[in-house]
Amino acid sequence: MPVKRDALSRTIEKWLSAWDRHDLDEVMSLFGEDAVFETWTGMKVVGRENIRKAWAEWFETGGFRFISEAIVIDEQEQTVVFPWIYEGPAKCFEGKIEKRRGIDLLRFADGLIAEKVTWTKTSLEVEGRRITLTSGERR
């Protein structure tokens, strides 16, 4: 059953707040049981519990944040798109913070996230230097 724009907006507010608090339980409560998550590398994770497992260590480590740059809600398509800036521990540069830009597309079914697709630039910034990732450095 489609939900109204204001309900989608409230869900996205909860989503962003849960990410800011590193609250994996709250994030996962917004996914449907059979949700699909596809990363920018093409990896696909199917099922809410499998997505939780994929993200658990990342949330436990913490130290990251996503800064939302805009939110576009399409009530008719039950879709939300938002570009973001990620700031957090650099995987390939231990002890450093990376910045990266990306965009998420969230598709909803019955008010829950049914699909999350993430795209990100293949370059990041560490200490003001732009670094282009190679296939071995993808995450």
With a cut of 80, say whether residue 130 has pLDDT above it. Answer: yes
More confident residue, 5 or 137: 5
Q: If pLDDT is split at 50, 70 and 90, which confidence band does 135 have?
A: low
Query: Could you tell me the pTM of the whole model?
Result: 0.87
DSSP for the chain reads: ----HHHHHHHHHHHHHHHHTT-HHHHHHTEEEEEEEE-TTS-EEESHHHHHHHHHHHHHH---EEEE---EEETTTTEEEEEEEEEEE-SSSTT-EEEEEEEEEEEEETTEEEEEEEEE-SEEEETTEEEEPPGGG--
With a cut of 50, say whether residue 20 has pLDDT above it. Answer: yes
With a cut of 60, say whether residue 137 has pLDDT above it. Answer: no
With a cut of 60, say whether residue 138 has pLDDT above it. Answer: no
81-125 per-position pLDDT tens digit: 999 999 998 877 788 888 999 999 999 999 999 999 999 987 778
